[in-house]
Structure 1
């Protein structure tokens, strides 16, 4: 009987391990906060990591090595009163490339306007259909954005269900009066516009196709079908460029290039000159600020 119970406990724990999808590291920079007791930030880090990594976000099974890696870089800009924080957040998510030990940066996004309340040992609860607080909503939002983008890189439109959850989170948060959740003409680099471009916009949703083409049909086959992989990577860039032509400076376009610009400038060095030339022409239109980096592709 005792052995049976131990076996059952082992199976339960094993399944719990398989169910957890995220492996985020939370880094909190509190230098600007200028408060002496920094223990609260250590507690905050542990609490946020537990919220992201310690729960099941999907019904799929993930082995430990399959968990999606990411960084949540939080800069505390101000503590206007005890327990109230003003911060910026940078979210970075990587994806392993098949047959290699290389990890590709899929998402690199700076969320510049996050205000929240946190007290010691505060439990963090989440409900998809209700706004409970500005911590769990933001963390759950980026958890689902992370899952959606990762799934999109493995299957066309594979992340749809997660973007639907992220969209619900935004809709629920709009009546909270908190910044970053509403349609704003002065701040288009926020959560509202991010999910709008990814999930709602017919123009920018094409970039999701580019994510699949770039990763699954590009980087994942680069070792075995090099020419085809290069062609698909350039086609992915073309899709992003066409979305930018239709509606310039969309936040999803910017997020794509922020994650991929430097990588593209390195990956395509081995491509035929014709493909490099085609890619540079597209890149200069969609990301002119990095013209010097892209023009290097024409020199080799």
Structure 2
């Protein structure tokens, strides 16, 4: 449930007169510099089509004010294109979440999808069916729409994203039948769509990271100005939960995704935390994300 649906009876009353609105506000950017196509108008059509698919439909039955729509960026880099409408691309997906009582937006999800092959036909409507694989465009876009929704809901309510992760899991199961790259249990590239939803939703090993999303955001960032002592303790507990998951099964894609989104922010937000909080946090962060040791060690110099 969204924040406005859980904080008070008054909020529910105020929202009662609002009609259902689209939940997503994604900007699609297409980098076509590597393509060899002379006619680049197709990429403008692609951008418009993808944004309409993501932003122009209702993904939930909940009520969203326009300002509550989940902001996201989809950066598509075209690696190869043919004159018959076949494309090979990589996709960077990012979403942000507002922090209660501030103008600050926290990076919630940051994921690089390295393998996406699809066919795009001008003026072709994009349809989506949760239970059937129709094409590799609508499946990928709907997959990340539900991942974005699931993580956003998780950040407001513990395990609140379950319905959306269930849809994302169905999309993966259906898409596997297509034989397209990125949907299967590839052991050579575990940074794919299968392993991401497996770690988030199917595997119990990483379930604590979902709790960490709630503790860090709703019980951490959202109350930092009101009760900093409690906020820092909850954020530390969130880092502990991520470290526990990583210890049980190191280098999972959900763990990596969490740190890719939150690492820089944690290094900034904890600068004002008590020294004992910073000390324990750094010890845990060095276990989970040793490649960024220098960044985290700066917390001990403040």
Under TM normalisation by the shorter chain, which class is it? over 0.9
Q: How many residues align?
A: 285
Q: Please point out which of 202, 205, 210 is paired with 1:203.
A: 205
Is the counterpart of residue 281 in structure 1 residue 283 in structure 2?
A: yes
CA deviation digits over 1:85-143, x for unaligned, max 9? 00000000000000000000000000000000001111100000000000000000000
CA deviation digits over 1:250-270, x for unaligned, max 9? 000000000000000000000
Structure 2 gaps of 5+ residues are 1-17
Structure 1 gaps of 5+ residues are 1-13
Aligned positions of 1:135-284 closer than 5 A: 135-284=137-286
Mapped partners of 2:38, 2:228: distance in 1: 55
Is the Cα–Cα contact under 8 Å of residues 37 and 83 in structure 2 kept in the other structure?
no
Deviation at 1:81, TM superposition (A): 4.6
Query: SS of the counterpart of 1:47?
Result: helix
Aligned positions of 1:23-38 closer than 5 A: 23-38=25-40
Is the counterpart of residue 116 in structure 1 residue 133 in structure 2?
A: no
Deviation at 1:34, TM superposition (A): 2.5
CA deviation digits over 1:13-54, x for unaligned, max 9? x73xx4200000000000000322110000000000000000
Query: SS of the counterpart of 2:26?
Result: strand
Mapped partners of 1:98, 1:181: distance in 2: 36
* TM-score calculated relative to the size of structure 1: 0.94
Is the counterpart of residue 294 in structure 1 residue 300 in structure 2?
A: no
Structure with bigger helix share is 1
CA deviation digits over 1:213-253, x for unaligned, max 9? 00000000000000110111111001000100000000000
Structure 1 vs Structure 2 CA RMSD: 0.8
Is the counterpart of residue 74 in structure 1 residue 65 in structure 2?
A: no
Mapped partners of 1:32, 1:239: distance in 2: 41
Mapped partners of 1:262, 1:25: distance in 2: 23
Instruction: List structure 1 runs of 4+ shifted beyond 6 angstroms.
Output: none
Query: SS of the counterpart of 1:113?
Result: strand
Mapped partners of 1:245, 1:177: distance in 2: 33
Mapped partners of 1:234, 1:93: distance in 2: 23
Mapped partners of 1:44, 1:103: distance in 2: 28
